[in-house]
Structure 1
Amino acid sequence: MNNNNQRSALATYNHITYLLYILSYFTAGLLWIVPIFMNYAKRREADGTWLATHFDWQIKTFWYSIVWFVVGIGIITFALGSFGVSMMADSGNIAVGSVLLASLGFIIMGVTFIWHLYRIVRGWIALADSRPVP
């Protein structure tokens, strides 16, 4: 396969991975893992081309999203445990702190969701314009 055909095939492949990331929002995240495997499988074929930036962009987006999502879930889990303790101890102060901490966890998860969606849309637009992403 010549370079132009390979680049065209990799661009199509990237369109599919961006699409799968978007579709994952409608499948409760079940499709979220598929494009990351796809990106790792073809990443080296894009080395030295502008398409390599799209593979790296999607991989970084995935991992940073996972980390921040887990941080948010961890904070919420800790806060809910503290809330249960506050109910048993009949402590209103701990309950308020637990609710505020859980709110922080939900904010982190919400910002992560928006950031992930922004990066997928921004990357897909750049791919459609045949441009690399930063």
Structure 2
Amino acid sequence: MMQDENTPDFHASPGLSQGQLIHVMYALFAIGVLSAGFLGATAIAAVVMAYLKRGDMVGTVHAGHIDWIIRTFWWGLLWLVISAALALIFVGYVTGLVVYIWLIYRLIKGWLAHFSGETPLPGL
């Protein structure tokens, strides 16, 4: 039986692959961080996507990236809140800059690991 060109192929997986979704999450997170919080909603969207796809990626190399993105977000947010409080005594500006650099480092480290087909190693 020949299939018509307009008939959808139900055997093809719709949407993005898991690897592509990880790229989207890193990209959204990077936009949020590099815009210095101006587009912070994109970082939140990346974390929401990570939580939504976490169960689908259990047991894959991508699971480590999901955890990496989630941990980076929450630790970064915690340290940014602490830095904002410390800004009252002017130390927070320095710690805020350190947190900003750390977030960029984590994004680069995780994304490069993803490009290499590896899971980011724990640590910093």
Q: Same fold (TM over 0.5)?
A: yes
Cα deviation, residue 21, structure 1: 1.1
Q: Which residue of 1 aligns with 2:107?
A: 120
Matched residue SS, 2:59: coil
Q: Which has the higher contact order (CA 8 A, sep 6+)?
A: 1
Cα deviation, residue 71, structure 1: 0.1
1:31 and 2:31 aligned: no
Cα deviation, residue 30, structure 1: 3.1
Runs of 4+ in 1 over 4 A off after TM superposition: none
Q: Which residue of 2 aligns with 1:22?
A: 30
- After TM superposition, the structure 1 = structure 2 runs for residues 64-83 of structure 1, keeping only pairs within 5 Å, are 64-76=75-87, 79=88
- After TM superposition, the structure 1 = structure 2 runs for residues 1-134 of structure 1, keeping only pairs within 5 Å, are 9-24=17-32, 25-26=34-35, 28=38, 29-76=40-87, 79=88, 101-102=89-90, 104-134=91-121
Matched residue SS, 2:75: helix
Cα deviation, residue 23, structure 1: 1.4
Instruction: Report the number of matched residues.
Output: 107
Cα deviation, residue 115, structure 1: 0.4
Give, in whole Å, the separation in 2 of the partners of 1:30 and 1:63.
Answer: 14
> Residue type of the partner of 2:25?
T
Q: Which residue of 2 aligns with 1:84?
A: none
Give, in whole Å, the separation in 2 of the partners of 1:132 and 1:72.
Answer: 29
* TM-score (norm: length of structure 1): 0.73
> Residue type of the partner of 2:113?
A
> Residue type of the partner of 1:124?
W
Matched residue SS, 1:133: coil
Normalized per residue, the structure richer in helix is 1
Give, in whole Å, the separation in 2 of the partners of 1:11 and 1:32.
Answer: 18
Matched residue SS, 1:131: coil
